[in-house]
Amino acid sequence: MPDIQTQKEQKEYEKYVKQVTPTHSLPMNMVRAFLVGGLICLAGQWIMNMCLGYGLGQQVSGSWTSGILILISVILTGFNIYPKLAKFAGAGSLVPITGFANSVAASAIEFQKEGQVMGIGCKIFTIAGPVILFGIFSSWILGIIYWVLKITGVM
Amino acid sequence: MSGQTIGQQSIQFREPVFIISGASIVGKKEGEGPLGDAFDLVGEDPMFGTDSWEEAESTLQKETAGLAIAKAGLKNWQIRTIYAGDLLAQSVASSFGIADLGIPVYGLYGACSTMGEALSLGSMAVAAGYGEYVLAVTSSHFGSAEKEFRFPLSYGNQRPLSATWTVTGSGACVLGRQGGRARIMGVTTGKIIDYGLKDPQNMGACMAPAACDTIYQNFMDFDRMPEDYDKIVTGDLGKVGQQILWDLLAKKGYDIRKQHMDCGLKIYDGKTQDTHSGGSGCGCAATVFVSYILPKIESGEWERVLFVPTGALMSKVSFNEGQSVPGVAHAVVVETAGKGER
């Protein structure tokens, strides 16, 4: 641990660096994220309605929608178009399921050179891994809470 | 034999070391930049005819080293030692790149400051009589660096405005006791400077204090002022780091704005090439030095230049474990041969 004087100087430098470092405009980024994220969701809804129109059930239509969106994202990743979209949209293309698919496909493409097992096998989830782990973990916790509320008669 | 050290951290060679030749090979994006025509070769294929980014960088380094040796009119066996480095873990680009040349080698790591380190050690070896000719070479590759330090290339994310763009390129210099129109007069070896910053996406700010320290020390050791140099050239501070360097040196009482130039700001056109803060990487300082700065020194347009490549010392692991990103900078004093004697 550095002494107090050094810590103070480091804090001051950090503050100064923050001042001189340009950042992306937050409102602009939010507008872009809203637009692109919204469009992706709109596309999803459109696919969903199509499926429902063919007489598929609610649940089956949902699965088809996710599957098709993932497929499109993976294809766009392969052609190196998705990164360009993400550069523009930021969280707008990161948060939807397509962003997740992009992170998996991009890792697979990059690490394929290191082999099927040590490359793709070990590293395909380098970016998506935390989302999978903590996603499952939190759903598990919520499951327990739901179960406790149920046996205590609250729900 | 009395010593050749001067001041705290510098060496002043009794007999200068000549830069006999320089060679640079870059990628397509660098070729499209403002210095495009100055490079010896521009590779259209980012893979340089290989299967992976790492092999591509090795090929790049090997070709550049060979080209520098050829331009010096020498054969491989005449080079006593190579001082080589790159950004990859365990410096594999260098190891696999120059293995085929069959020349004894020292592998270096100084992050993006490696060209300064290679020129320093190479010139020391020549000055001390440990080799008639030695070679200094470094390289970096956008693809391999992104993979090593950041994300897979096709992963979609937004790069911060303070981030720099790793140069795909390699620069090499043959140093020797005579021949050539530029010479290394001395070096100032840099300390590792840590201001506690933890943002690897703002490397300019992490490295600027190191550049400031080394440049200041050079002024002290050689008893010089900024005006004593025609140019003070930093490696890859970028827009953000350049501003910080100016401010930090101003605090110490030196104004270098007139002399200062940053290789990272020179290699790309920030307006059209979307490189944010500028270029970076071992190849950035090396290729700009060889293609742009060296010819100007050789022609006498700039008679004395302080070349200060800067490096950010971190790895993915050190970053994940919460360590800061310290910087280092090594300075080399390069002059037009015959300056002061004509």
Do A22 and B161 make contact, defined as CB atoms within 8 angstroms? Answer: yes
Domain span holding position A120: 31-124
Residue B338, chain A, CB below 8 Å: the answer is no
Which helix (H) or strand (E) segment holds residue B106: the answer is: strand B105-108
Q: Check whether residue B170 and residue B186 sit in a common domain.
A: no
The C-alpha of A90 sits at a distance from chain B's nearest C-alpha, in angstroms, of 6
**Which residues of chain A neighbour B56 with C-beta distances below 8 Å?**
none
Alpha carbon distance A1, B80 (integer Å): 45
pLDDT of residue B341: 55
Residue B291 has pLDDT above 50, yes or no: yes
- Domains in chain A, number: 1
Closest among B236, B142, B171, B144 to B25, alpha carbons compared:
B171
Same domain, B11 and B160: yes
**Tell me, what's the pLDDT at B1?**
45
Q: What is the pLDDT of residues B52-106, one digit of tens each?
A: 999 999 999 999 999 999 999 999 999 999 999 999 989 999 999 999 999 999 9
At B247, the pLDDT band (50, 70, 90 cuts) reads very high
Residue A140 pLDDT level (bands cut at 50, 70, 90): very high
**A78 vs B contacts (CB less than 8 Å):** 154
B167 and B26 inside one domain: yes
Do residues B154 and B198 both lie within one domain?
no
User: Which domain covers residue B59, as residue numbers?
Assistant: 5-176
State pLDDT tens for residues A36-84: 999 999 999 999 999 999 999 999 999 999 999 999 999 999 999 999 9
CB of B312 closer than 8 Å to CB of B111: yes
> Looking at the DSSP assignment, which residues form a beta bridge with residue B18?
B176, B183
Q: What's the CATH number where B12 sits?
A: 3.40.47.40
pTM of the prediction?
Answer: 0.92
* B147: nearest CB among A10, A23, A110: A110
Nearest residue of A to residue B208 by CA position?
A17
* B218 and B234 Cβ atoms separated by less than 8 Å: no
The 10s digit of each residue's pLDDT in A10-46 is 999 999 999 999 999 999 999 999 999 999 999 999 9
| pLDDT at site B342 | 42
In this prediction, residue A154 carries a pLDDT of 83
Determine the angle formed by the axes of helices A26-53 and A58-78, rounding to 10 degrees.
Answer: 130
Do residues A36 and A93 make contact, with C-beta atoms less than 8 angstroms apart?
yes
Q: Which helix (DSSP H) or strand (DSSP E) does residue B306 occupy?
A: strand B304-308
Q: How far apart are CA B54 and CA B225, in angstroms?
A: 42
> Is the same domain home to B189 and B63?
no
CB contact under 8 A, B161 and A107: no
Residues B167 and B193 in one domain: no
Alpha-carbon dihedral B50, B108, B150, A124, rounded to 10 degrees: 60
Q: Using CB atoms, pick whichever of B153, B159, B197 lies closest to residue A110.
A: B153
Domain boundary among B156, B176, B196: B176
Burial of B315 (0-12, 13-18, 19+ CB in 10 A): middle
> B154-213 pLDDT, tens per residue?
898 889 999 999 999 999 999 999 989 999 999 999 999 999 999 989 999 999 999 999
Please tell me whether residues B157 and B192 are part of one structural domain: no
Among the candidates B176, B208, B243, a domain finishes at B176
